Amino acid sequence: MSDTQPVGAQGALDVRIARKTYRSGRGGAVEAVRGLAFSVTPGSFATLIGPSGCGKSTTLRILLGLDDDFEGEVRLPGSDESVGMVFQEPRLLPWRTVEENVRLALPKARADRPLDALFEEVGLAEARDRYPSELSLGMERRVAIARALAVEPALLVLDEPFVSLDDPTAARLRRLVAEAARRRAMTVLMVTHNIREAIELSDQLILLAPRPTRVVGEVTLDRPREARTAVWIEAERVALATRFPATVEA
Ligand SMILES: Nc1ncnc2c1ncn2[C@@H]1O[C@H](COP(=O)(O)OP(=O)(O)OP(=O)(O)O)[C@@H](O)[C@H]1O
């Protein structure tokens, strides 16, 4: 029972969406989700993988509380306020500096808290006073990651956080996120189309069916991250494509 948990204790992320239907203006309906259920162990890194248009964004919107028109129940690891979100696009305010963009995410009572260690961690110590127009794409993503971590989230949600970056930049940011997750007790839920990056980063893979989406399989990866070589990742990918052909491209 949540009211017997000590303050700050984390529960599992628990998502049960019996049904989510979009209604169109002319009485038509699109069933986006039917019978989707999964749990993520506190402190672990889980990734949702599914074909294009299956209902991943819909699921994220529901668990972030942006859509309450669904049948089902969602339990977050902490309070509703302790969620950090990294979107596909960094969504920075162009007229605010890097530091101001990050501080905007903080609750009023903690708006002045020191962020030196965080800016150091994400590699932005020298860029705090710059404006978004003065940043590379990779640095903009670092700001978005810092903004999500600044609230010290119990749950970090990552929606395709490394798309449209060049390979070396994406690889550096994946290492940054993996390291940030390792240092914290937070639970991470990522959505990605990139099966290799999912295998590289995750403790738990949650594979989704085409629309209306539901979970078709879950895979636990317990190999230490530093031992996840390109060869091993590719072998895992091929095995998953064989087991889940509707979800993972061959
Ligand atoms: N507001 C809406 N009204 C009607 N249908 C919608 C609405 N939003 C999404 N849909 C439909 O619901 C289904 C799931 O959409 P959703 O965006 O959740 O998929 P997704 O898995 O995130 O897609 P992608 O991988 O392309 O980002 C799609 O068929 C989509 O067209």
**pLDDT tens digit sequence for 75-103:** 999 887 789 999 988 899 999 999 999 99
Please write the tens of the pLDDT for every residue from 29-83. Answer: 999 999 999 999 999 999 999 988 899 999 999 999 999 999 999 999 988 778 9
Range 22-30 average pLDDT: 86
Band of pLDDT at residue 9, cut at 50, 70 and 90: low
Identify whether the C-beta of residue 247 lies closer than 8 Å to the C-beta of residue 50. yes
- What pLDDT, on a 0 to 100 scale, did the predictor assign at position 2? 42
Closest residue by CA, ligand 1 atom 17: 57
Please write the tens of the pLDDT for every residue from 137-176. Answer: 999 999 999 999 999 999 999 999 999 899 999 999 999 9
Q: How far is the CA of 58 from the centre of ligand 1 (A)?
A: 6
Q: Ligand 1 pocket check: which of 190, 211, 215 to mutate, most ligand atoms within 8 Å of Cβ? A: 211
Among 210, 139, 226, smallest CA distance to 178 is for: 226
Average pLDDT over all residues of the chain: 92
Please write the tens of the pLDDT for every residue from 186-244. Answer: 999 999 989 999 999 999 999 999 999 999 999 999 999 999 999 999 999 999 999 99
Checking if the pLDDT of 5 tops 80, the result is no
Among 125, 192, 129, smallest CA distance to 165 is for: 192
Count of CB atoms situated within 10 Å of the CB of 172: 16
Closest residue by CA, ligand 1 atom 7: 22
Q: How far is the CA of 160 from the centre of ligand 1 (A)?
A: 15
Q: How far is the CA of 57 from the centre of ligand 1 (A)?
A: 7
Q: Which residues contact 128 (CB under 8 A, 6 or more apart)?
A: 97, 98, 99, 119
Q: Is ligand 1 within 6 A of the CB of residue 53?
A: yes
Range 25-30 average pLDDT: 85
* Whole-angstrom distance, CA of residue 62 vs CA of residue 89: 19
Q: How far is the CA of 10 from the centre of ligand 1 (A)?
A: 30
Q: Is ligand 1 within 6 A of the CB of residue 39?
A: no
pTM here?
0.92
**Alpha helix (H) residue ranges in the chain:** 56-63, 98-103, 116-121, 137-150, 167-183, 195-201, 230-243
Quick one: what percent of the chain has pLDDT higher than 70? 96
